[in-house]
Amino acid sequence: MSENFGGSTAINSLNFTTYDDADTGLKTRRGQPVWNESSVDELVEGQRYSTWPSIEKGCRGPQPYPSWLIEDAAAMDTELGILKTGKEGDVFLIERATESRSTLLAAKRYRGQEHLQFSRSQAYSEGRSARRSRDNRAVKNNSSYGREVAALQWASAEWTYLRRCHEAGIPVPYPVQIDGTEILMEFIADPENSRAAAPRLQQISRNDPRLPALWDQLADAMEKFVILGIAHGDLSAYNLLVAGERLVVIDVPQCVDLAGNVQGLDFLHRDCVNMCDWFTAKGLPRDAEALFTSLLASMFA
């Protein structure tokens, strides 16, 4: 029996070919929908029905829903490959398709019991707590159960911050849905190749003509963060995507409360130093202390 996302049976099926994609660097299974209403076929490995209809409305992204979002109950989700591996989880490329259209999504899946590196989260998560004291003790003791609770907490935190940032006009991927420890969000594509991820800011070359505009977008995003009362907390050229002329902030689960976390302003200052140092090294000098002072003024305005 083939493995699949949901372990269910499909009325319609997809056929796939497997190959190395030179454009994206992913080993992928790609296919076009082959809808067969008269047969019942088992879902192939890496395929499931869309989970959109089964999740609670509160676990869906903010309205109005974007036009590219597929809400159809008969849609199929197909895993195409892995985009990124990280300490807390991995990000996969998902195609959600119906008979008539398809869209690409990024699926971030947090790890559970087998994951041993959540300890770094404590400085960021100061002020956060689970509802049950037992859960708080388990997370603190790093037990197997505690790591499961931590994974759920971090997925929930990222979902919450993505929604808040999106609604505040901060350029983050649109949060599509959360289901346990899996978050589906907008796939930020390279404008020159819709099936390839947008490059990270880190990949931009020195003296790139887009740097001044990208800096302006970054400074605006950082100001909107502090107006919300939070700092990204781990801002770097690796956590920013460049989709043509557009800058997009990613990886927000560790956002810190500037009022509730005693290290909040330290994290904000570190974000300023990291980004100003990077832009300065790329030929666009920027002053971290001036940026920090400006953000503080916006925070207390």
As annotated, the residues of the chain forming the CATH 3.30.200.20 domain(s) are 9-187
pLDDT digits (tens, 9 = 90+) for 222-280: 999 999 999 999 999 999 999 999 999 999 999 999 998 999 999 999 999 999 999 99
CATH 1.10.510.10 in the chain, residues? 199-299
pLDDT at site 59? 96
pLDDT at 1 over 60: no
Question: Does residue 39 surpass a pLDDT of 80?
Answer: no
Fold of 199-299: Transferase(Phosphotransferase); domain 1 (1.10.510)
Q: What is the 3-state secondary structure (H, E, C) of the chain?
A: CCCCCCCCEECCEECCEEEECCCCCCEEEECCEECCCCCCEECCCCEEECCHHHCCHHHECCCCCCCCCCCCCCCEEEEEEEEEECCCEEEEEEEEECCCCEEEEEEEEECCCCCCCHHHHCCCCCCCCCCCHHHHHHHHHCCHHHHHHHHHHHHHHHHHHHHHHHHCCCCCCCEEEEECCEEEEECCEECCEEEEECCEHHHCCCCCCCHHHHHHHHHHHHHHHHHCCEECCCCCCCCEEEECCEEEECCCCCCEECCCCCCHHHHHHHHHHHHHHHHHHCCCCCCHHHHHHHHHHHHCC
Superfamily of domain 9-187: Phosphorylase Kinase; domain 1 (3.30.200.20)
Per-residue model confidence as pLDDT tens digits over 221-236? 999 999 999 999 999 9
pLDDT in tens, 115-165: 445 444 566 555 554 455 554 554 455 555 555 656 688 899 999 999 999
